[in-house]
Each structure stands twice: as C-alpha cells, then as structure tokens.
Structure 1
Amino acid sequence: MLRVVLTGSECTGKSTLAAKLAEHYKVEFVPEYLREYFAMKNGILTADDVIPIAQGQLQYENEAAAKGYNPLVCDTDIISSIVYAKHYFSGCPDWLNDKLNTLGSSLYLLCDIDVQWQADGQRDMPEEREYMQNLFISELNSRNIPFQTISGPLTQRTVESIKLIDEILAAPIK
C-alpha cells in the first residue's frame, strides 16, 4: 500500500486535492481529524490536546488502511501535529516522534501557498503562511523525509500528483 500524505501550512488546498485524488483512485481519503476535534473543543486547544489529535488522525488512517485502499490518501498526518505543537506550544511530545518513526515510508506532497487563503473559523494565520510553510519544510528536511512541492491551480496539482503516485504504484516491488 502506498501512503500519500498531503501536507503544508493551513489553507493550501490539501482537502480539495485529497478529494480529487480519492475520486481519481476510487478510494475514500483520510480526512483531517483536527477539524472534528477542534469543533468538539469549541475551538479552544491546549498542549494536552496534541496527542489526542494525533491519535485520532492515526485511527482514521488505520481504519482506511484496513479497507485496503491503495493509495491511502491522507489529508495531513502526524507531521502537522508536530509542526503545530512546536509552533503553538513550544514543544512536541516524544510520543509523536515515536509514532512517526513507526509509519514507514510515504509519498509526501507539500501543497504550496500559491492558492487564496480562506477564513473558516479554524484557520488563523493568513499573514504567516510563508513562515508556517517554512516550518513544514524545515520539519520534513530535518527528518530527511523526501517531499514534492505541488503548486498551481487545482487541475495542475491533481495531474502532477497523479503522475507522481502512478510512478510509484507502477514501480516494481523491492
């Protein structure tokens, strides 16, 4: 199974691209658990919420993986929990790092900040998009996690992503 992770700063089109990829591959995508959790907590999060958010995301991934989806398209993953924990709470619980190390290799697609930012009650940093995007890039680089940046309008992002995914799916298994 190929695990495809869409990552990047808030409001970079991850959910929209995940839906398009899921439609193309005739699978369900793994939604961002944070959205549900954020609503459940009435928009008030603390450092104590970091692990439950990551656990919820992993549970969603495990449920989708159990259905046999290939590729497994994830609208974010534990990297987001790590980046935001460091940003908002000045640290990251070791549990997140330990879990990340168990996930194995994945295709990380970093959605660029070249799409229009849209407020939705959860997103709160339109003026800090570049800064936050650089935090994602730094986190991926510091962990030696390869990634491909996906830019442009949705059609271009979709075509580019499908090409990358298809190349990996077509490669011989080692």
Structure 2
Amino acid sequence: MSEVLTTPFRRVVVTGVECSGKTTLSKQLAAHLGWAWVPEHARTHNDVLSGNVSESTFDALHESQTDAAAQAQATHPGVICDTGDLVLRLWSEAVLDFSWHPLMPPNPRVDLHILCPVLETWEEDPLRTLPQLEDRLALETKYRAHLKHRPHIVAEGSTPEARLQHVLSQWPW
C-alpha cells in the first residue's frame, strides 16, 4: 500500500518595526511562492483609525488575521502574513503600557518569522509614530530579542529585491 505524501501548510509572518518594508516584502514573497497573502488588518480597523485602541482591539486584530490565514489553507500551500502577534504585543506595550498576549495561540501556527530590519528612511503615514531612527532601532532590538529562540530569517539587503533574494536564499522549505 502506498502512502500519500502531503506537503504541510506553512504560515510565515513578516514582522518588524513600522516603515521597515514588511508590506513590500510580504507581497513579493507571496507572489513569488504562489501563496496567499494576508495584509496588516490594523490599517483598516476602526479602533486603530479613530485612535481608540484597547485590549479588545488587539484581540480582534489577532482573530481576524488568524482567521484569514486559516482560510488560506483551503486554496494555497502556505500563507505570508504582513505582521502578526509579535507586532501586536510590542505595539500594546507602547500604546497601552501592558503586554498583550492572545487568548488562543494562532491556528495555523506560525512556522517562520521574517524580520525586516529598520530602514533609515521614514515615510510619513497617519498610523506611524516613530519618525526618529534611534527610536525605531531601539524597538528593533526588542523584536530581535523576542525572535531569538523562534525560527526566523532576517531580511538583509538595501533594496526590496535584495531583501527578497536574501530571504529566498535562506528559505527552509
């Protein structure tokens, strides 16, 4: 009797400080791999847009992004998420002065994080709050500490194309 081999569904989260190229890299990677792409849900969430962020906002963002990743399982071999729970946790520490944690772990689980290092140039955006390079570098240190014992790749490179090629050269599957 022959066994049917199936490739496991993979969830990859692109993470990092604001204005670090997460959206660009996550879109490029999803297109290159033919995987689903989940955008950053905070960009369209009413609480975020109105400036009324609370603990329930973080719960809702976790749930909506996790649900979108789970829906991708039906049609794709994997999903690339533009941000995830680590962004929510560090953002909650900055905005609400407490460390948010999800009530339930993400399902599908996160198989790999990709850290986008800080870019020197900062593009203004209504949701961004860290125009100073020093502040973004300090926050990046926290991301690196959280990722230290998790499977991750640092997206090295000075251009979006170089970052994509670097990530692909380190790709574990």
**Which interval holds the TM-score relative to the shorter structure?**
0.7 to 0.9
Contact 1:29 1:75 in 2 (8 A): yes
State yes or no: 1:3 paired with 2:3. no
Once the two structures are TM-superposed, the CA of residue 17 in structure 1 deviates from its matched residue by 0.7
Counterpart in 2 of 1:172?
Answer: none
Q: Which of the numbers 151, 158, 165 marks the counterpart of 2:156?
A: 151
Once the two structures are TM-superposed, the CA of residue 41 in structure 1 deviates from its matched residue by 4.2
Once the two structures are TM-superposed, the CA of residue 138 in structure 1 deviates from its matched residue by 2.2
Following superposition of structure 1 onto structure 2, how do residues 1-174 of structure 1 map, counting pairs within 5 Å?
1-38=9-46, 41-67=49-75, 69-94=76-101, 96=102, 98-100=104-106, 103-127=108-132, 128-141=135-148, 144-152=149-157, 153-165=159-171, 168-169=172-173
RMSD in angstroms over aligned alpha carbons? Answer: 2.2
- Output one character per residue of 1:32-85: Cα deviation in whole Å (capped at 9) or x when no partner: 111111577423323331211111111121122232x23311111111111111
Paired residue secondary structure (2:123): coil
Paired residue secondary structure (1:44): coil
Contact 1:9 1:129 in 2 (8 A): yes
Paired residue secondary structure (1:3): strand
Judging changes above 3 Å, is the alpha-carbon distance between structure 1 residues 43 and 93 closer, same or farther for their aligned structure 2 residues? Answer: closer
Judging changes above 3 Å, is the alpha-carbon distance between structure 1 residues 80 and 150 closer, same or farther for their aligned structure 2 residues? Answer: same
Once the two structures are TM-superposed, the CA of residue 98 in structure 1 deviates from its matched residue by 4.2
User: Which 5+ residue runs of structure 1 have no aligned equivalent?
Assistant: 170-174
Query: Partners of 1:39 and 1:47 in 2: how far apart?
Result: 11
Paired residue secondary structure (2:38): coil
Could you tell me which amino acid in structure 2 is paired with residue 29 of structure 1?
W
When normalised by structure 1's length, the TM-score is 0.81
- Output one character per residue of 1:88-130: Cα deviation in whole Å (capped at 9) or x when no partner: 2122344x16415x65451211001135211111111121211
More helix by share: 1
